[in-house]
Chains A and B, each alone.
Chain A
Amino acid sequence: GAVVSQHPSRVICKSGTSVKIECRSLDFQATTMFWYRQFPKQSLMLMATSNEGSKATYEQGVEKDKFLINHASLTLSTLTVTSAHPEDSSFYICSARSGTGRRTDTQYFGPGTRLTVL
C-alpha cells in the first residue's frame, strides 16, 4: 500500500517555542492531506484538511493561528504548533489521500508524532 511518513517521530520542546511536523506521501501524490490529534486511549480527532496550494480548512474549535498548516506540494504538508504549551502535548497523525478525486480514494496514515511540551 501507499506510504506516508512523518518527521520527527518524537519531539520534546519548552513551553512557548514552536514545533514543525512534516508529513510526506512517499509513493503517491496527495492532493488532500489531513491532520489528526489523538489523546491517550482516545480516538482520532480531525484538526484540519488541506488541499495542495490552498488554505487549510480547520475543524470547529481548532485554532488556526496556533496550528499552522501548509500544503506546499503534492507530497508534503507541514503542521506548525506555534507557542506550544503543555496542553498541546499529544500524538499528532497526518493522513494523505491519493489525488484521483474519487470518493473511493483511500486515506493512508503516517506513523504519528509524539509532542511533549514541558
Chain B
Amino acid sequence: AQSVTQPDIHITVSEGASLELRCNYSYGATPYLFWYVQSPGQGLQLLLKYFSGDTLVQGIKGFEAEFKRSQSSFNLRKPSVHWSDAAEYFCAARGGKLIFGQGTELSVKP
C-alpha cells in the first residue's frame, strides 16, 4: 500500500540550530513529493515540492529538501531555525491521491 512515514512525532531544536525532518515514502514508482507547514488552527502552506530533475529542492522560508531515491526519502532541512518556524510539518506524496505523513511537531527553544 502507498504510504508516507514521518518517524519523528516531535522535535525540539534551539533557535539558530540546524533542522532536519525525516520523511520516507512507500510507492510503486516515484511519486510527486511535497512538504507543507501548518501553524496552530490554520490550514496548510506549501513549503516546496519535487516532481523530477534536481534532487535538491529549494522552498520558501529558507527550507530545502533532498530527494534520495535509493532511500525512498525526502527529508526537509533548514540551516538555521527561527522561533517562528515552530509549527506542524507534513510530508505528502501523490501518485493518484495526495497522502500525508503523520506530521512532525517542531518546537523551538530560545
Contacts and interface: CB of A to CB of B under 8 A. Distances in A.
Interface in B70-104: 90, 94, 97-98, 100-103
Contacts of A109: 36, 43-46
A84 to B, nearest CB: 20
**Majority SS at the chain A contact face:** strand
Nearest to A2: B46
**Majority SS at the chain B contact face:** strand
A43 B102 contact: yes
Contacts of A111: 42-43
Interface string B9-51: 0000000000000000000000010101000011111100101
B106 to A, nearest CB: 14
A44 B100 contact: yes
Given A43-B103, A106-B49, A112-B43, A49 B97 contact: yes
Contact of A112 (B42, B46, B98, B105): B42
Most chain A CB inside 10 Å of its own CB: which residue of B45, B49, B98: B98
Interface of A: 1, 4, 6, 34, 41-44, 46, 49, 91, 93, 95, 103-104, 106-112, 114
